[in-house]
Chains A and B, each alone.
Chain A
Amino acid sequence: AQRVTQPEKLLSVFKGAPVELKCNYSYSGSPELFWYVQYSRQRLQLLLRHISRESIKGFTADLNKGETSFHLKKPFAQEEDSAMYYCALKGDTGANSKLTFGKGITLSVRP
């Protein structure tokens, strides 16, 4: 079975501070990892996926297979980053190819 754990429910930082949203996963095969974001009153949308290895809105995430982690980082938080963030995993075979989400974390960036 696949599982995604986001250990914190809320992270509150000041503008300009670094941000790290933690995500750990459990999966025996080769997973694909994603971060999704939901801004207030907007739909859930993809922020980034590990295979793209790109930086979106200043956010990056590196897949660490040894630690089974996919933490989301940004060096300098902006107020517009305030949102709900979900880490998600997609398995590589059959019944595991569904998207499994963590419980999400609320990021609040204060001015």
Chain B
Amino acid sequence: KAGVTQTPRYLIKTRGQQVTLSCSPISGHRSVSWYQQTPGQGLQFLFEYFSETQRNKGNFPGRFSGRQFSNSRSEMNVSTLELGDSALYLCASSLRGETAFFGQGTRLTVV
């Protein structure tokens, strides 16, 4: 069974731009969660989607948004990028929200 796939693996963006990250969950998994990982703050929860509905949201500004499609694939969007948004963004999938299986992550660098 293929694992969680995130694309792209690396991104370099300029301040003020926007970016969209993609996550394909394990086949059959309906829950997708997003996390931001930085050296200073560790892993911080962004949001969770289940069956195309946002089920949970972390404490991030409205510039961070996401969505989930009918095939459970998910996208995360960050608008008006700031230098502090540079991080590894991880996606995790699970059947219904229990044990999470993580992707390799997308490394976003904002310059």
Contact = CB atoms under 8 A, between A and B. Distances in A.
Interface of A: 32, 34, 36, 43-46, 49, 86, 90, 94-95, 97-104
Interface stretch (B18-26, B41-49, B69-77, B78-86): B41-49
B23 to A, nearest CB: 13
Given A98-B33, A98-B56, A44 B90 contact: yes
A101 B43 contact: yes
B27 interface: no
Most buried by B among A32, A44, A49, A94: A44
Contact of A46 (B48, B90, B99): B99
Interface of B: 3-4, 33, 35, 42-45, 48, 55-58, 90, 92, 97-105
A95 B42 contact: no
B104 A43 contact: yes
Decide if the interface of chain A is mainly helix, strand, loop or mixed.
strand
A32 B104 CA distance: 24
Given A44-B90, A98-B58, A103-B42, 19 more contacts: A43-B102, A45-B101, A45-B102, A46-B100, A49-B99, A90-B98, A94-B56, A95-B57, A97-B55, A97-B97, A98-B45, A99-B35, A99-B92, A100-B45, A101-B35, A101-B42, A101-B43, A102-B42, A104-B42
Contacts, number: 47
A110 B98 CA distance: 34
18 contacts: A32-B98, A43-B3, A43-B105, A44-B102, A46-B99, A46-B101, A95-B57, A97-B56, A97-B97, A98-B33, A98-B45, A98-B56, A99-B45, A100-B45, A101-B43, A101-B45, A103-B42, A104-B42
Contacts of A32: 98
A106 B44 CA distance: 18
Nearest to A6: B42
